[in-house]
Structure 1
Amino acid sequence: MSAISEWIDGQVKGNDVVLFMKGTPTFPQCGFSGQTVQILDYLGIAYQGINVLDSDELRQGIKEYTNWPTIPQLYVKGEFVGGADIVREMFQAGELQQMLEEKGVAKAA
């Protein structure tokens, strides 16, 4: 496992909810990242936002980590959930809220 994969793995396993995104939660740099942030913020979930634009190595590394070609990527309790379209569809169907509840994800303080 490469150093960047190990770092990503540590973030994924060390935080209940992690969003690898373009930009930051307060300043998303793409529409898809922005949509995902809006959903998480609406649900009041505490999450770690990681800006993949900070490093080419990270941007490539996260795609290889999941074998998923697009960003953003959402992880809950170490499990890859999906990108913006999947997160939006799950949210609209109530599945995202249910999954977060079942996994015991805390609301932001």
Structure 2
Amino acid sequence: MSDPNARIAEIVNGNDVVLFMKGTPLFPQCGFSSKAIAILDHLGVGYETVDVLQDMEIRQGIKAYSDWPTIPQLYVKGEFIGGSDIMMEMFEAGELEELMNEADVQRAA
């Protein structure tokens, strides 16, 4: 499958929580991705990541898919939530944890 939109849709819809980021959870390549990982780890939810630096089609395609210009991007149960700033605002307000609970997201193993 080489169509980036189809690949992105499969990833987004095939996982409860997906973070499109720069780098990996153990080695984030930007501060925003690092902050996003720290939030997800603190919430204790299971999540998948996609390193956009490894795939230029995905890196450009995810911006069009979400109509959001920056990375990282968080998806929960197929719904685009936002980038690291929105994640931080929602986390600080308790809204991100509430969303994860309402969406019945799996906890981290």
TM-score normalised by structure 1 residue count: 0.97
| Partner residue in 2 for 1:12 | 12
Question: Which AA in structure 1 matches 2:52?
Answer: V
Question: Per-residue CA shift, 1:55-85, capped at 9, x if unaligned?
Answer: 2111100001011000000000000000000
| Partner residue in 2 for 1:85 | 85
| Partner residue in 2 for 1:100 | 100
| Partner residue in 2 for 1:49 | 49
- Secondary structure in structure 1 of the residue aligned to 2:108: coil
Q: How many residues align?
A: 108
Aligned counterparts of 1:24 and 1:4: Cα–Cα separation in 2 = 20
Q: Please list every run of 5 or more consecutive structure 1 residues that lacks an aligned counterpart in the other structure.
A: none
Question: Which AA in structure 2 matches 1:97?
Answer: E
Aligned identity (percent) is 60
Question: After TM superposition, where is structure 1 displaced by more than 2 Å over at least 4 residues in a row?
Answer: none
- Secondary structure in structure 1 of the residue aligned to 2:64: helix
Aligned counterparts of 2:50 and 2:33: Cα–Cα separation in 1 = 11
- Secondary structure in structure 2 of the residue aligned to 1:28: coil
CA RMSD in angstroms, aligned pairs only: 0.8
Question: Which AA in structure 1 matches 2:77?
Answer: K
